[in-house]
Amino acid sequence: MKILAPSILSADFLSLGDQIQKVINAGAHWIHCDIMDGAFVPNLTFGPMVVSAVNRCTDVPLDVHLMIRNPDPIIPEFITSGADYVTVHAEEVIHLHRTVSMIRELGAKPGIAINPATPLCMVEEILPFVSLVLVMSVNPGFGGQKFISTSLDKIQRLNTLRQRHNYDFLIEVDGGVNEDTITQLSEAGCDVFVAGSAVFRGNIHDSVKVLLDKMRNS
């Protein structure tokens, strides 16, 4: 199943609840929450309190992406707030197996994220233990960036590894996902598509429908 996960980073926070309901009513499957600390990435967003508020206004899975330094101490709070998936960055976490195990023990599904310049070999040993691998197709920190096309090859190679070893993780992509790139991403093996500005830039219902149609027909 292909999954569309709108990122609320691009939503209007003055009407966040209403905008979330619109994307869900239009057919989106998950809600993606980009957590940034102004240190690991050059931007600052929100924390567990907003995730908890989002959790109260929808029943769909919450996909929480932690772009923060030293995430371990705050991971339990995000899970308590309603995170179904918690993804940490391979570039930041030193004891990755320990962190992934903690996320699973606390009742959420663990994910691992890699930046555009990070090779797949950095995460091969953790692949049997995760539920999701997030391939960043832009440099993390801000929405609305241009898609880095070499990410397609990385997704294809990751999909090949998954098939060869019979792993069951989902492949997620975040950055530059829109009606022009989503077909290529789907064909490369992507399962979960994080779209921000492509969803919230205009008529939310129409934007979601366009992305869903292209995703399903690829």
Which pLDDT value is given to residue 145? 66
Which pLDDT value is given to residue 181? 92
Decide if 161 contacts 178 (C-beta within 8 A): no
Q: Which residue in the list 12, 34, 63, 206 is annotated as catalytic?
A: 34
34 as an active site residue: the answer is yes
| 184 burial type by CB count under 10 A (0-12 exposed, 13-18 middle, 19+ buried) | middle
Which pLDDT value is given to residue 143? 63
Q: Which residue in the list 84, 174, 191, 206 is annotated as catalytic?
A: 174
Sheet holding 192-195: strands in order across? 3-6, 192-195, 170-174, 132-136, 109-114, 85-89, 62-67, 31-36
Which pLDDT value is given to residue 118? 95
Decide if 62 contacts 84 (C-beta within 8 A): yes
- With tokens 């940490």, the residue in question is 88
Q: Spell out, as residue ranges, where the chain has pLDDT lower than 50.
A: none
Which pLDDT value is given to residue 176? 86
Decide if 148 contacts 175 (C-beta within 8 A): yes
Which pLDDT value is given to residue 141? 65
Which pLDDT value is given to residue 207? 94
Say what the pTM is.
0.95
168 as an active site residue: the answer is no
